[in-house]
Chains A and B, each alone.
Chain A
Amino acid sequence: MVSPVIQTSSLTRHFGEIKAVDQLTLEVQAGEIFGFLGHNGAGKTTTVRLLNGVIEATSGEARVLGLNPQTQGSALRARTGVLTETPSLDERLTARDNLSIYADLYNFPRADVSARVHFLLTEFELAERADEKVAGYSKGMKQRLALARALLHKPEVLFLDEPTSGLDPVAARHVNDLVEHLARREGCTVFLCTHNLVEAQKLCDRVAVMEHGHLVALGTPSDLTRQYVKRLDVDLEVDPTQIELVLQIVQGLPQLVSGPPKQKKDMLTLTLSGRKAIPELLHILVQKGLHVYRLAPQEANLEEVYFALHGNTQ
């Protein structure tokens, strides 16, 4: 059996009275894109720091690539790449200098440094301005350069802290495509900290939701929607002449339909109590002689999971 790339057991970090990360237990498998969701201050960045041996845990254990971050931090960091929340670039230096310095820090083979730097600058569409000072770059360019720096030494695990924060949609999509490419094509494990739920839903194989340092949910996006979103919206299309009749019928079914139906032209949107209400509702409508053209559940998304969880923890 393959051991997980990231494994934590009751990992805890306090800052005085504040529990930044509290009893965190999770596993991340090789090649996975693992979403780490939560508000600002939920403990995401602290977890990344703990997993890279940059800060020490108050208690609990962690293993990344089989290494203990607290005692084998240097060896571990040689195999991980981190994109910090702010690009953390030397803006008085050029993009090429920024990358070349980090090549030395990662002890990248000297003979290959120039080619690797050139490759990354080209890959991230920065080659034309490679010898300009970073201070003159746009936010998107800085973010791309920081990502190039995180990938410079070909890390096995990539930690991304809000990688698309502040980027325009085109730049954000570029970053997301790259993350997907790294995980799917190159087998890199990605630990993605974000509060962009749409991005997480699209990219992540599994997600963990953090709230005030606690892990409040863990699973695939679809598992979580099934688990946490109890109510379900469905689109119902019937013969237009039968809409009034439908409204009368559903008003008499409070155990299946909660709240007033929404009508948009010939389409009704009903909020059901759950997936099990679908066949029951369909059976009743057909039995009443209605012509049902379409009854389609709207897929719940992580956003609903997130707010459901957020409501639970308030």
Chain B
Amino acid sequence: MNTRAILAIARKDLKVAIQNKGVVLPIIILPLVLFVILPWIMAYASSFTETTGASNDIGELLARMPAGLLHELSGFAPNQQLIVFSLVYMLAPMFLIMPLMVSSVLAADSFAGEKERKTLEALLYTPITDQELFAAKLLGSWTTALAVTLLSFIVYAVMVNAAGWQSIGRIFFPNWMWIALVVWVTPAVAGLGLVVMVFASARAQGFQDAYQTGGLVVLPVIALMVGQVSGVMYFSLSVVMIVGLAIWLIDAVLLWFASKSFRRSQLMTKF
């Protein structure tokens, strides 16, 4: 493997991507909304329900939750449970949108964007092999998605503890489930966003086209969120580990197919 060439392409893709507003804006706005503004709104809403007597409704909501979740919340006072439930458990599936969105938006710029800008042909005339080019294209988007996600997690941890401090009075975030989510699941989800975008880019005419088509990959994450809120399931440590394993397996299969189709001769016509 020519690591120098791989790193050069990964660096180039990032350098080009960060000059595209369509790439940068969602990467800034999404974590700002989800991980800075939302924790404060939810913490405020939780304390608001206490003062307005809406706690009965919340009690009904929590009562519908699986027994495992109720057990994990049992260590908190009733007025703290809604804050912990909303900030620790309800937002956990939503956190997965972050690596998915970052990796897919970067991959769309890297693959479909390259086609749109007509810059791929010159790359194909260099000594880099098909495997190296594929690795380079994935590496830049994947590592950036992980870095942005990790940063978002740190920001979120600070925001959650700060927002809940008045009610809980101690650091309650992250728990082991969240650490597993960040370490085990987010790299897999970032990989999923990437490989889906590789397929979407092969058929798309440009960045926007690919991003819209590949955006459908967010649907499973939304299904997880609905499942969590409706009480069908909740993100326990074991669920997170299983979800992560399933996504890694899907990644491996999709990656195998994507690498097979990522050949120079096909890129010339498809990309």
Are B4 and A97 in contact (CB-based, < 8 A)? no
Residue of B5, B16, B20, B265 near A55 (CB, 8 A) is B265
Residues of A with C-beta under 8 A to B122: 82, 84, 88-89, 102, 146, 149
Interface status of B264 (Cβ within 8 A of chain A): yes
Interface status of A205 (Cβ within 8 A of chain B): no
| Chain B stretch 116-136: residues in CB contact (< 8 A) with chain A | 117-129
Interface status of B212 (Cβ within 8 A of chain A): no
Residue of A74, A80, A107 near B4 (CB, 8 A) is A107
A interface size (C-beta, 8 A): 30
Cα separation A86 to B129 with both chains bound (whole Å): 22
Cα separation A104 to B8 with both chains bound (whole Å): 6
Min Cβ gap A246→B in Å is: 58
**Residue-wise interface mask of A (69-107) relative to B, using a CB-CB cutoff of 8 A (1 in contact, 0 not):** 000011101101010101011111100010001101111
Query: Known contacts A55-B265, A105-B9: does B129 contact A89 (CB below 8 Å)?
Result: no
Residues of B with C-beta under 8 A to A101: 8-9, 11-12
**Closest A residue by C-beta to B268:** A55
Query: Known contacts A78-B127, A107-B4, A107-B5: does B117 contact A90 (CB below 8 Å)?
Result: yes
Residues of A with C-beta under 8 A to B7: 104
Interface status of A54 (Cβ within 8 A of chain B): yes
Are B125 and A84 in contact (CB-based, < 8 A)? yes
Are A105 and B129 in contact (CB-based, < 8 A)? no
Interface status of A27 (Cβ within 8 A of chain B): no
Interface status of A143 (Cβ within 8 A of chain B): no
Q: Is chain B's binding surface mostly helix, strand, loop or mixed?
A: helix
Interface status of B51 (Cβ within 8 A of chain A): no
| Chain B stretch 75-130: residues in CB contact (< 8 A) with chain A | 117-129
Cα separation A211 to B12 with both chains bound (whole Å): 39
Are B265 and A88 in contact (CB-based, < 8 A)? no
Cα separation A90 to B122 with both chains bound (whole Å): 10
Residues of B with C-beta under 8 A to A102: 122, 126
Interface status of B2 (Cβ within 8 A of chain A): yes
Min Cβ gap B142→A in Å is: 20
Query: Known contacts A93-B16, A149-B122: does B265 contact A74 (CB below 8 Å)?
Result: no
Are B121 and A84 in contact (CB-based, < 8 A)? yes
Min Cβ gap A64→B in Å is: 13
Interface status of A164 (Cβ within 8 A of chain B): no
Min Cβ gap A140→B in Å is: 18
Residues of A with C-beta under 8 A to B124: 54
Cα separation A89 to B124 with both chains bound (whole Å): 13
**Closest A residue by C-beta to B4:** A104
Query: Known contacts A74-B127, A74-B129: does B119 contact A105 (CB below 8 Å)?
Result: no
Cα separation A132 to B5 with both chains bound (whole Å): 24
Are B126 and A106 in contact (CB-based, < 8 A)? yes
Cα separation A149 to B12 with both chains bound (whole Å): 15
**Closest B residue by C-beta to A50:** B265
Are A54 and B126 in contact (CB-based, < 8 A)? no
**Residue-wise interface mask of B (13-32) relative to A, using a CB-CB cutoff of 8 A (1 in contact, 0 not):** 00110011000000000000
Best-surrounded residue of B15, B119, B122 (most CB of chain A within 10 A): B122
Residues of B with C-beta under 8 A to A105: 5, 8-9, 123, 126-128
Are B117 and A77 in contact (CB-based, < 8 A)? no
Are A91 and B4 in contact (CB-based, < 8 A)? no
Interface status of A180 (Cβ within 8 A of chain B): no
| Chain A stretch 47-62: residues in CB contact (< 8 A) with chain B | 49, 52-56
| Chain A stretch 143-192: residues in CB contact (< 8 A) with chain B | 146, 149
Residues of B with C-beta under 8 A to A104: 4-5, 7-8
**Could you list which residues of chain A lie within 8 angstroms of chain B, going by C-beta atoms?**
49, 52-56, 73-75, 77-78, 80, 82, 84, 86, 88-93, 97, 101-102, 104-107, 146, 149
Inter-chain pairs besides A91-B117, A93-B16, 20 sampled, C-beta below 8 Å: A52-B125, A54-B125, A54-B264, A54-B265, A55-B264, A74-B127, A77-B126, A78-B127, A82-B125, A86-B121, A88-B119, A89-B122, A93-B12, A101-B11, A102-B122, A102-B126, A105-B126, A107-B2, A107-B5, A149-B122
20 contacts between A and B (CB under 8 A): A53-B264, A54-B125, A54-B265, A55-B265, A74-B127, A74-B128, A77-B125, A77-B126, A77-B127, A82-B125, A88-B121, A89-B122, A90-B12, A92-B15, A93-B16, A97-B15, A105-B128, A106-B126, A106-B127, A146-B122
